[in-house]
Amino acid sequence: MLLSMTGFGRGEAATADGSRITVQVSSVNRKQFEVRFSMPGELAELEVAGRKLVSGAISRGSVQVRCSLTASADNSGNYSVNTGVLDMLVRECRAARVRANLPPDVAVESLLSLPGILNVAAKDRDDELSVFAPAFEAALKAALNDFDNMRRTEGEALRNDLLERLEKLKAWGFELESMTSGYPELAKQRIMTRLAEEKLPVSGDDPALLKEVLFYVDRGDVTEEITRLFSHFSQFHLFLDSTEPVGRNLDFLAQEIFREITTLGNKAAVSGASAVVVAFKAEMEKIREQIQNIE
Three-state SS across the chain?
A: CCCECCEEEEEEEECCCCCEEEEEEEEECCCCEEEEEECCHHHHHHHHHHHHHHHHHCCCEEEEEEEEEECCHHHHHHEEECHHHHHHHHHHHHHHHHHCCCCCCCCHHHHCCCCCCEEECHHHHHHHHHHHHHHHHHHHHHHHHHHHHHHHHHHHHHHHHHHHHHHHHHHHHHHHHHHHCCHHHHHHHHHHHHHHHCCCCCCCCCHHHHHHHHHHHHHHCCHHHHHHHHHHHHHHHHHHCCCCCCHHHHHHHHHHHHHHHHHHHHHCCCCCHHHHHHHHHHHHHHHHHHHCCEC
d(CA 168, CA 93): 53
Do residues 52 and 44 make contact, with C-beta atoms less than 8 angstroms apart?
no
Amino acid of residue 162: L
What region, left, alpha or beta, does residue 92 occupy, with left being phi > 0 and alpha being psi -120 to 50 degrees?
alpha
Residues 14-29: what's their mean pLDDT?
A: 92
Residues 140-155: what's their mean pLDDT?
A: 96
pLDDT, one tens digit per residue, over 109-146 is: 777 767 777 776 544 556 667 889 999 999 999 999 99
Taking alpha carbons only, the member of 36, 35, 21, 16 closest to residue 136 is 21
Do residues 5 and 28 make contact, with C-beta atoms less than 8 angstroms apart?
yes
Q: Give the pLDDT confidence score for residue 124 in this predicted structure.
A: 53
Higher pLDDT, 189 or 181: 181
pLDDT, one tens digit per residue, over 241-253 is: 998 999 999 999 9
For the chain, first and last CA: distance in Å? 11
Q: Give the pLDDT confidence score for residue 192 in this predicted structure.
A: 59
Higher pLDDT, 85 or 194: 85
Residues 6+ apart with CB under 8 A from 37: 47, 50, 51, 65, 67
d(CA 285, CA 257): 11
Q: Give the pLDDT confidence score for residue 202 in this predicted structure.
A: 59
Q: Give the pLDDT confidence score for residue 123 in this predicted structure.
A: 45
Q: What percent of the chain has pLDDT over 90?
A: 55
Check pLDDT > 90 for residue 195. Answer: no
Confidence bin at 149 (pLDDT 50/70/90): very high
Whole-prediction pTM: 0.70
What does the chain come to in residues? 295
Confidence bin at 239 (pLDDT 50/70/90): very high
Listed range (94-108, 175-189, 206-220) with the worst mean pLDDT: 206-220
pLDDT, one tens digit per residue, over 243-284 is: 899 999 999 999 999 999 999 988 887 778 889 999 999 999
d(CA 255, CA 253): 5
Residues 6+ apart with CB under 8 A from 92: none
Q: Give the pLDDT confidence score for residue 285 in this predicted structure.
A: 96
pLDDT, one tens digit per residue, over 63-116 is: 999 999 887 655 555 667 788 888 888 898 899 989 888 888 888 777 776 777
Q: Give the pLDDT confidence score for residue 86 in this predicted structure.
A: 85
d(CA 142, CA 282): 41
Q: Give the pLDDT confidence score for residue 189 in this predicted structure.
A: 64
Average pLDDT of the chain to the nearest whole number: 85
Check pLDDT > 90 for residue 155. Answer: yes
